Amino acid sequence: MQKLMMVACTLVGLAAYATVAISAEDLVAAVKERRHLMKEVVAPNAKLGGQMVKGTVAFDTTKAAAAMNEISGVPDKYVKLFPKGTEHGAVKDSEAKATIWDDFDKFKATAQKLKDASAKAAGAAAQGQGTFTAAFNDMTKVCKECHETFREKLEQ
């Protein structure tokens, strides 16, 4: 048993050594920045789009397009904020499932889908509320798809 513990400690030590290039502060900063992008950029613009779809906020072509373009600007930056060692449990407040690093290509492809779907919704805004609604709903499916696979939602 003691021997097993020692092996486990050595492995943890090695894992820490392997990521030595990235400091603990950098890992924390990456989590903070990516949370900021989801919470302060993606979510409020998606909320505004949803309100225009429901009609609780008057539909406005320019504002709807601007909101979707804001979202579209996020994915390229977003996927760069996932250094190894920032999964849920490793860094406080991280909601990133380890599955992200099991299949990083799929994670990137899903982010690309959000970029495309939000750009499409931005373009659809000019064609009126009906066209916008369809494109907006397609975009929110991508949010759900990615969260189901890659996000470990924390109890707040």
Query: Could you list the residues that contact ligand HEC (CB under 6 A)?
Result: 31, 34-35, 38-39, 42-43, 46, 71, 94-96, 107, 110-111, 114, 139, 142-143, 146-147, 150-151
Minimum CB separation of residue 126 from ligand HEC in Å reads 20
Cβ nearer to ligand HEC, comparing 115 with 129: 115
* Angle between helix 43-54 and 129-150 (nearest 10): 140
Strand partners, 16: none
User: How many C-beta atoms surround the C-beta of residue 42 within 10 A?
Assistant: 21
Contact present, 68 and 45 (Cβ < 8 Å):
yes
Judged by beta carbon, residue 53 or residue 71, the one nearer ligand HEC is 71
Residue closer to ligand HEC, measured from CB, 89 or 128: 89
Longest Cα–Cα distance in the chain: 68
Shortest distance, CB of residue 105 to ligand HEC, whole angstroms?
Answer: 12
